A and B are shown apart, each in its own frame.
Chain A
Amino acid sequence: MTDRKDIEELIGKVALGDRAALAALYDATSGKLFGVCLRVLKSRAEAEDTLQEVYLRVWAKADRYAVTGHSPMTWLITVARNLAIDRLRAHKSNHVDLDSVGELVEKRPGPEAATIAASEQRRISACFEELPQDRAEAVRAVYLDGATYQALADRFDVPLNTMRTWLRRSLISLKECLSR
């Protein structure tokens, strides 16, 4: 399968205006990025529109990729997730249906997972295990599903400010663990 170096090379070619490279990049990465968009938007039509936006953004901004210092999949996932959240906010005014969150969380990684630095993934997974389970679940729901503080407060049935304090503490614990 396409590895990090291949994807980096494709992004480099895209930056020079190589359309074939963008098509190859799409073939190599759209499964993962569509998965990310679909997870946030819960609608194939919305996720497909966003996916197109993602690759147009990549086309326009590939020359800026290098300065982010990110691995190529981190950059692509970050672009995809941010555009998906933008769309979620624009269309659904912050409503996130969390009913489907739990069942997806424990699913095994897809085949493309190998493109993500394995050590990074193990590290964040290990650190999530140090958090109380519901808090780890809340952070995941925010990243993967685009949950807001309000949605989390409703789900965990606590006041908004409590939820915020809770999550911020979890983030600081997480940072402490990740920096070890």
Chain B
Amino acid sequence: MSDQQDIPEDEALAAEYVLRLLDADAERAFEARLLNEPDLAAQVRFWEAEFSALAADVPDEAPSPSVKAKLVAELSGEPKGLRRGWSWSWLAFPAMAALAVAAFLAFSPMLRDPVFDPTLHATLISEDGTVHIEAGYSPEGDLFKVIPEQGAPAAGRDFELWVIGADADAPVSLGVISASQESLFEITPEIAALIDGGTLAVSDEPVGGSPTGAPTGAILAIDEFFDADLFQAG
């Protein structure tokens, strides 16, 4: 941003993005920049806040009561934060969730490169803060990336990742991960289908991974997958 010319250019571009004047390709390109450029993201928030004041000019309208009825019906069929037969009490740690969000914002640029463009993310941070792992999933090629930011398993132990689908009863293993370098691997369509709305977890396992196909050691951290777009678009 050293070139003075860039400044109004990006201001207009951020406004066009918020107004939804960009075509789908330009929107995607802009969103890719947003993840790496906090100044640009701040411009987006500025315009979102300013333009939303225009909605004051829009008269309130009463929707049909059936909308609320359908909404309530839909939600009552879907317990939130409770997964049948799967009782990690992660909701008891809102501070950890806040920390995970902060960590995501700080680390998300590292998840992104030209060939790997994740749409869903999870940030795993252990309760004591010693383990921190970032993960991203890209539906293009069903690629999964893991970046171990901090922490290593004890001698003779491995970290193993698990995905729990929104409606699944049991976790599915993503395998043992390296704690020293990032890894990028393809996952099966069956596992990929669990990610949207699902949860990622890391457990402490014997070398080579759980011998039983289910976590046997301590669950170190857990996070719901979330899409990055809503951070920017509100």
Residue A168 lies at the interface, judged by CB distance under 8 Å to chain B: yes
- Chain A binder among B73-81, B140-148, B177-185, B214-222: B73-81
Distance between Cα atoms of A19 and B76 in the complex (Å): 8
B residues less than 8 Å from A121 (CB atoms): 53, 56
Closest chain A CB from B70 CB (angstroms) = 6
Encode A102-126 as 1/0 by CB contact (under 8 A) with B: 0011010111110011001101110
Closest to B11 in A: A175
Among B20, B59, B91, B101, point to the contact of A146 (Cβ < 8 A): B20
Evaluate contact between A116 and B57: CB separation under 8 angstroms: no
Closest residue of chain A to B20 (Cβ to Cβ) is A85
A144 touches B57 (CB 8 A): yes
In the bound complex, CA of A124 to CA of B48 (Å): 12
Complex interface: chain A residues within 8 A of B53 (CB)? 116-117, 120-121, 123-125
Residues of A within 8 A of B230 (CB): 61, 64
Q: In this complex, what residue of A is CB-closest to B101?
A: A67
Query: Bound state CA distance, A75 and B53, in angstroms?
Result: 11
When the two chains form their complex, are residues A55 and B234 in contact, meaning their CB atoms are under 8 A apart?
A: no
**B56 lies within 8 A of A116 (CB):** yes
B74 cross-chain contacts in A, Cβ below 8 A: 52, 56
Measured as residues with beta carbon below 8 angstroms from the partner, the interface class of chain A is 35 or more
Given known A48-B64, A117-B53, A175-B15, contact A142–B48 (CB-CB < 8 A): no
B45→A23 contact, CB < 8 A: no
- The number of chain B residues touching the other chain, given as a range, is 35 or more
Q: Considering the complex, which residues of chain A in the window 11-42 have a beta carbon less than 8 Å from any beta carbon of chain B? A: 16-17, 19, 22-23, 26-27, 30-32, 34-36, 38-39
B20, B57, B62: which contacts A82 (Cβ < 8 A)? B20
* A residues less than 8 Å from B190 (CB atoms): none
Q: How far is the CA of A121 from the CA of B16 in the complex (A)?
A: 20
* Other-chain contact of B21, A36, A64, A148 (Cβ < 8 Å): A148
| Docked-complex contact B20 and A52, CB < 8 angstroms | no
* Cβ-defined contact, B59 with A64, below 8 A: no
Interface residue? A79 (CB, 8 A): yes
CB <8 Å contact, A34 and B61: yes
Once A105-B57, A171-B11, A171-B15 are accepted as A-B contacts, the answer to whether A77 and B52 lie under 8 Å apart by CB is yes
- Excluding A32-B58, A34-B61, 12 further A-B contacts by CB distance (< 8 Å) are A31-B62, A51-B63, A56-B74, A59-B80, A64-B230, A66-B101, A67-B101, A116-B56, A123-B53, A139-B19, A140-B54, A171-B16
Q: What is B's interface to A at a CB cutoff of 8 Å?
A: 8, 11-12, 15-16, 19-21, 45-46, 48-64, 66-68, 70-72, 74-76, 79-81, 91, 97-98, 101, 105, 226, 230-231, 233-234
